[in-house]
């Protein structure tokens, strides 16, 4: 059955004009962004806006991130395919789906039960059997499946949670917005160089909802 209704061409345009033109280069990321049906991860009434160049509301005071930001954060993980990734802030499940096109396993945590349940249903319906979603405190990670080759956080933290750094594999990358609760944050990439050695890079300014939890905002 053809569900496209023009979305495939919108998706291709998004990849060309919102991603490639802004410097997204990873073939794996571009392929994943061109594959995931973003329209399935937004509220039905907003599907005509699914490929707009910006975030969209998904309920419970949360948003689905701008396509470029999803691509930027995914590319910053420097995945080669088949890795194990932790995704904090499932939201609609869209970013987890993009990660699921590249990684071997994706473990995704969402604080709001309603969103976690909806995202899990959508991911199953879209065929992402390698993505597992649970409701919980994302700042504490998912230690049962550590270590992770990549960790990505879709909410702004006051500082990089130690619990997430602890769950990162040596050589792995943690990508997280850090800064003020209600204004612009810095997108940070933390690379674990050794058991007790980390390198931190600033990838630029972003704006996300606050990361709530034991090692985030209260």
Strands 131-135, 105-110: pairing is: parallel
CA–CA distances in Å: residue 118 to residues 20, 104, 124, 187: 30, 22, 10, 27
Confirm whether 65 is a catalytic residue.
Answer: yes
Nearest to 165 by CA among 183, 188, 132, 131: 188
Q: What's the token pair of residue 7?
A: 């979305």
Helix axes 27-35, 67-76, angle to 10 degrees: 140
Question: Per the omega criterion (within 30 degrees of 0), is the bond before 147 cis?
Answer: yes
Catalytic residue, candidates 65, 180, 183, 186 = 65
Among left, alpha and beta (phi > 0; psi -120 to 50; other), residue 198 is beta
Report, as residue numbers or ranges, the catalytic residues: 65
């Amino acid at each position: 059955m053809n569900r496209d209704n023009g979305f495939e061409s919108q998706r291709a345009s998004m990849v060309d004009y919102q991603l490639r033109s802004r410097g997204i280069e990873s073939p794996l990321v571009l392929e994943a962004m061109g594959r995931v049906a973003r329209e399935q991860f937004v509220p039905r009434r907003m599907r005509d806006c699914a490929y707009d160049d910006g975030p969209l509301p998904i309920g419970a005071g949360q948003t689905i991130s701008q396509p470029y930001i999803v691509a930027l954060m995914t590319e910053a993980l420097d995945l080669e395919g088949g890795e194990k990734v932790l995704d904090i802030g499932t939201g609609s499940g869209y970013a987890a789906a993009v990660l699921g096109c590249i990684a071997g396993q994706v473990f995704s945590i969402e604080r709001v039960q309603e969103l976690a349940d909806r995202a899990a249903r959508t991911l199953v319906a879209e065929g992402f059997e390698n993505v597992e979603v649970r409701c919980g405190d994302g700042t504490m990670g998912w230690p049962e499946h550590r270590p992770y080759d990549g960790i990505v956080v879709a909410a702004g933290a006051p500082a990089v949670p130690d619990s997430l750094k602890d769950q990162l594999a040596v050589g792995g990358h943690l990508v997280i917005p850090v800064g003020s609760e209600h204004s612009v944050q810095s997108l940070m990439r933390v690379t674990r160089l050794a058991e007790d050695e980390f390198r931190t890079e600033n990838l630029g300014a972003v704006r996300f909802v606050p990361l709530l939890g034991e090692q985030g905002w209260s």
